[in-house]
Amino acid sequence: MQVLIVDDSRAMRMILKKMMGELGHKDIDEAEHGQAALDHLEEKMPDVALVDWNMPVMGGEEFISTIRGRRDCDQIKVLVVTSESNPRVVYQALKAGADEYAMKPLTTEVIGDKLGMLGLA
């Protein structure tokens, strides 16, 4: 499975990459914001994108809305991974096209469960 981690925090990208590795996923790419992730999609299409909500340049909502408007991105599952606990943000993420939502701090088990809910475990 090809994974794209989109988060402005280098430390968080490293943590998520380690968790995905523990779940057996090795084909993992990273982007530090939504625009960098869009640029990445021109080269390689992931099966799942783990996307932070609050990022500079292009945040999670704009990134998700953009890829949901592209036919070539239909198959990408989007898991929003954020510290935002406001129910309004959860609603906005799902409305933008996210498939699932997970709150930081995370465990490998939570990520595995969310991937399972998306049919990707």
User: Is the pLDDT reported for residue 121 higher than 80?
Assistant: no
pLDDT in tens, 70-102: 999 999 999 999 998 889 999 999 999 999 999
- Assessment of whether the complete model's pTM goes beyond 0.75: yes
Residue 26, SS3 per DSSP: coil
Neighbours of 69 (CB within 10 A): 9
The CATH homologous superfamily to which domain 2-117 belongs is: Response regulator (3.40.50.2300)
On the 0-12 / 13-18 / 19+ scale of CB atoms within 10 A, 116 is exposed
User: Where are the domains positioned within the chain?
Assistant: 2-117
Lowest mean pLDDT among 8-17, 73-82, 85-94, 107-116: 85-94
Ranges of beta strands (E only) in 2-54 are 2-6, 27-31, 48-51
